[in-house]
Structure 1
């Protein structure tokens, strides 16, 4: 069935609201406050700690990390749209977000109890996996609040500001922890590396950081009025099942999945270009994740960066990404999010090819091309979020952003898979010992696939109602 020509109803962004700079900054502080989990715990510090030799054989710990991460991602893919839908219907998005945020802070601090011994491996991986789930589901609720603080005319700059604040917050806390606890032989409060105490204390700081810096978010934002709350369509049909005790708990879940399927079906019938956008964004968002996931690996393995130089480059990369995301958010509102996404992806593909072609040119090549890549990662992510926010009808933000999270998770294996496959191909083609630089081509292929799928997607102004 082709797209209908019916006029789309007013989107959530079009609804009248009190837009203020204070609310925008308070909303963005959530990204600043929760970023330690992504930057410190998941990327640079705890994941490296938990796969270290103190916990067992490197291959075994890495495979265990992969398994726990995969299981967490699978749960997010299955649960995100339904939990987002539940928050929409209850109208308690801010309350749910606050509970998830406090839980994330508690999990971050609880990593203190993961001592560098094999017996603590699965405790650490379990906490990390649960934290990843909580972080992702919280992110769905956070994204769905974008329509509370932004309007149609400024959604791009607001989205960019929030994403940029996340990058900057992450690098600030990373540098604070690195120079106060991790790098010195004797850090603040006499903390040393004995018994992994430098890393473990850093986890407590991450939890406190999240708790403190998200306070403005929950003081400024509030749940929607009770009048917006509504039951799940068709739940009465499931509530009548026997045994009643079991179906009292299962009925909301089953009815939510049934309604989600109806949403996807209506979306395909009414706004097929929105489906194409979800597919394209899933592809290029996985490629964007790959840039940061494997950038440090390539810097060290191909361009000879020391661990200290990797940290310095990581700091520069996050600062560049944060500032460029805030700046290009202004272009999002002027040029439209699709143009920002296309420009960013073209620049990323070109920079990746430069890194591959000139891999023997020394560290300068990676500094220049790598920072250019980082400059366009954030804007593509932010514009993708603002593109979808411009389409969502009032009362459906949590569900649709949950679907957005799910589509991203479905293809999240592509960048790691193609990164490794490209290295294998490089070794076969060149016969060389170190063909790690070929891995960038795997990431470029994912970005290019997203770019190609994005080309025919219509601008957000030409999409029809998600409804």
Structure 2
């Protein structure tokens, strides 16, 4: 048994001129910029809020059905992501499946225009949201796997940081346009009003077009990977792919246990990172008295600082080391979370200062986690391992909600929820510390 990680991939593209690599990196990162329309507008701030509003039914009922829809989507991703990743690696169809899944996300977002504010459209809207989530996760597997095609071990941290930071900033630019143009004013651009919820529905059209346009460059700039010498036989691809995935996991346990340990550790702390944005608005509203407008303004500020910090830290990550970035960032996040809790009676400035400081470190951890894993994957297995990365993340996606809920149940106030989120981050940190970076 070896405790060493998988051998690093060969450094691709080292012979390409620097200017060509810059254009390729820009094209690749524009997919992140565009895809943030789905994360920011559809799943976080606009459509998910709209689909749980009063016209669709009682709050408890629609919230429960939203949770069920996203749970089903999560199960589908957990079951199929590593298989999809492995098959695209073998068939040499990484870019093809990125295009297919991107198209499905765009189509699902576009069809949300037809979700009128009426109970009869609830299931239709939730189905579109679930389909979009599944396709987005599958697309992300192919997209993340491309990192090995455009970066070397010397610059993978910087490139990952640029992409992730562009995602934050792109989503906020689009969200700001939608809020200013359609959501906030009584009569928005082109005369759109809230009658029939057209301000929200037109926002979905804009989000779909935004993603479609900015996703295009990656398909021209990044070449397709070659097919494996002996690809899977299509007649029994499903069962054989699953058998191979289980053999891969066994192989990681036997020959590259550090990689498997990292997949587990990153799944835990990534769920804690998700909890920061998922429950941050709830804590701001319930514990610090933020109204809806102030929550949105804080969310915009949080995403801007996270995006800028991700890009800046990415330029230093290749020198500092991805693990050092992850460890120091998580430690600082836990400290900031505890300061928010300890000083919450001092006023709203506490959340503005330490809440934003906490958000500064979210993006760098996410980006460093992706680049750390990219350094461990042998060439030709990127889709498979990033599929496992998605699966492990989904497998523990209950941790942050559970920690948040249990902490509130023990403490009796919403502010205690931040301790639960901090605990998940701390557990992820403790799991990460023993992971060695020795090749």
TM bracket, shorter-chain basis: over 0.9
Cα pair 2:6 2:376 within 8 Å, conserved: no
Cα pair 1:90 1:230 within 8 Å, conserved: no
- Aligned equivalent of 2:136: 135
Task: Confirm or deny that 1:265 pairs with 2:221.
Answer: no
- TM-score normalized by the length of structure 1: 0.91
> 1:296, 1:229 → 2: CA distance?
50
- Higher radius of gyration, 1 or 2: 1
Instruction: Specify the SS of the correspondent of 1:457.
Output: coil
- Aligned equivalent of 1:328: 313
Instruction: Specify the SS of the correspondent of 2:154.
Output: coil
> 1:312, 1:2 → 2: CA distance?
50
Per-residue deviation at 1:17? 5.6
Task: Confirm or deny that 1:370 pairs with 2:348.
Answer: no
1:423 aligned to which of 408, 421, 428: 408
Task: Confirm or deny that 1:292 pairs with 2:277.
Answer: yes
Cα pair 1:13 1:389 within 8 Å, conserved: no
Instruction: Specify the SS of the correspondent of 1:279.
Output: helix
- Aligned equivalent of 2:323: 338
**CA 1:440 to 1:9, structure 2 compared with 1: closer, same or farther past 3 Å?**
closer
- Aligned equivalent of 2:396: 411
Instruction: Specify the SS of the correspondent of 1:314.
Output: helix
CA-based RMSD: 1.4
Using the TM superposition, name which of 72-81 and 273-282 deviates more. Answer: 273-282
Per-residue deviation at 1:271? 1.3
> 1:454, 1:295 → 2: CA distance?
24
Instruction: Specify the SS of the correspondent of 2:376.
Output: coil
Cα pair 2:33 2:166 within 8 Å, conserved: yes
Per-residue deviation at 1:121? 0.5
Per-residue deviation at 1:230? 3.3
Q: Structure 1, residues 411-459: CA drift from partner, whole Å, max 9, x if none?
A: 00110111111111111xxxxxxx1000001100100000011111112
Q: Structure 1, residues 334-364: CA drift from partner, whole Å, max 9, x if none?
A: 0110000001100110011011111111110
Instruction: Specify the SS of the correspondent of 2:288.
Output: coil
> Please, which runs of 5 or more residues in structure 2 have no aligned partner?
none
Cα pair 2:40 2:175 within 8 Å, conserved: yes
Per-residue deviation at 1:2? 4.4
> 1:446, 1:13 → 2: CA distance?
35
- Aligned equivalent of 2:372: 387
> 1:451, 1:381 → 2: CA distance?
13
Cα pair 2:268 2:396 within 8 Å, conserved: yes
What is the 5 A alignment of 1:38-437?
A: 38-226=39-227, 228=228, 230-232=230-232, 248=235, 251-427=236-412, 435-437=413-415
> 1:360, 1:9 → 2: CA distance?
51
Q: Structure 1, residues 219-250: CA drift from partner, whole Å, max 9, x if none?
A: 21221235x45313xx5xxx8xxxxxxxx3xx
Moved over 2 A (4+): 1-4, 7-10, 12-19
> Please, which runs of 5 or more residues in structure 1 have no aligned partner?
240-247, 428-434
Instruction: Specify the SS of the correspondent of 2:34.
Output: helix
Cα pair 1:17 1:148 within 8 Å, conserved: no
Instruction: Specify the SS of the correspondent of 2:230.
Output: coil
Instruction: Specify the SS of the correspondent of 1:209.
Output: helix
**CA 1:8 to 1:273, structure 2 compared with 1: closer, same or farther past 3 Å?**
closer
**CA 1:254 to 1:388, structure 2 compared with 1: closer, same or farther past 3 Å?**
same
Instruction: Specify the SS of the correspondent of 1:170.
Output: helix
- Aligned equivalent of 2:433: 455
Cα pair 2:13 2:151 within 8 Å, conserved: no
Per-residue deviation at 1:13? 3.8
Instruction: Specify the SS of the correspondent of 1:214.
Output: helix
> 2:15, 2:371 → 1: CA distance?
17
Using the TM superposition, name which of 176-185 and 8-17 deviates more. Answer: 8-17
Q: Structure 1, residues 181-228: CA drift from partner, whole Å, max 9, x if none?
A: 1110000111100111100010010000011111211121221235x4
- TM-score normalized by the length of structure 2: 0.97
Instruction: Specify the SS of the correspondent of 1:408.
Output: helix
> 1:199, 1:17 → 2: CA distance?
48
